[in-house]
Structure 1
Amino acid sequence: MGIEYRWRAEVTDEELVELTRSHGGDPEPGWWTRVRAHSLGWMTARVPGLVGFANVAWDGADHAFLLDPKVRPEHQRLGIGAELVRRAAAEAARAGCTWLHVDFEPHLRAFYFDACGFRRTDAGLISLG
């Protein structure tokens, strides 16, 4: 399968809404239009349609934050998600970031720790909602 990975490639809100719905998510139309301005960048995977996406926010200096990685269900477990994360991390490093943070639900531990190489750390969280 010929997958095209691109950093900061054009992606529409409609494509992200459809990608999110493809795996049971509840997308909010207009989300990407609002979020895009706060991103260091994003990685897309296409074959030729959008099959994967990962957003990287940042603090403008050392810290980058992996957000909203997603791959269509029929393309999962093929290494696409791990490759999106690997390439997004490389782009964040190229931009001068020294840390890439991620948080996730427990059932995704194997993906982030084993497939993507994240390590366990202490972290804190406050629920604001």
Structure 2
Amino acid sequence: MINYDYEWRGRFGNDEVNVLHAEGFDHRVLDDDWWGQVNRHSLGWVTARRDGDLVGFVNVAWDGAAHAFILDTLVAGAARRQGVGRALVATAVEGARAAGCEWLHVDFDDHLRPFYFDGCGFQPTPAGLIPL
């Protein structure tokens, strides 16, 4: 059994998340300032590490009050199908709950329905969206 270490508001390097994001969303590696972004705008985030290497990440944005939002759930290809994504989201749920949030939202592409509904316990709800 492979052991992973999960940490709420865990330290990470921008390069680590940029590589993970590029793999997860199938684009070239960017030079985004993830550390600055999450520290300015997020309630928290969760890191997953195996032997010191970043293999998972999820960002938890919020409205400053009752609502938190799951964004950018990322798991490295070699760590997929091992429960890392579910553990990332479960740790995010705990962090949002501990911060006093009442709701945790997520939106996703259709192929991720089983992961979020069956694997993570989210419930379907009506929502609206305006593409910008």
TM-score interval for Structure 1 and Structure 2 normalised by the shorter chain: over 0.9
What 5-or-longer segments of structure 1 have no aligned partner?
none
2:108 aligns to what? 104
Q: Percent identity?
A: 49
Residues 28-67 of structure 1: per-residue CA shift (max 9 Å, x gap): 3124145211000000000020000000000010000000
What 5-or-longer segments of structure 2 have no aligned partner?
none
Paired residue total: 128
Partner Cα distance (1:39, 1:27) in 2: 22
CA RMSD of aligned residues (A): 1.3
Secondary structure of the equivalent of 1:120?
Answer: coil
2:119 aligns to what? 115
Q: Decide whether the 8 Å contact of 2:22 with 2:30 is kept in 1.
A: no
So what's the TM-score if we normalise by structure 1?
0.93
Aligned structure 1 segments of 4 or more residues deviating by more than 6 angstroms = none
Q: Say whether residues 1:45 and 2:48 are aligned partners.
A: yes
**Residues 1-129 of structure 1: matches in 2 within 5 Å?**
1-23=2-24, 24-36=26-38, 37-47=40-50, 48-128=52-132
So what's the TM-score if we normalise by structure 2?
0.91
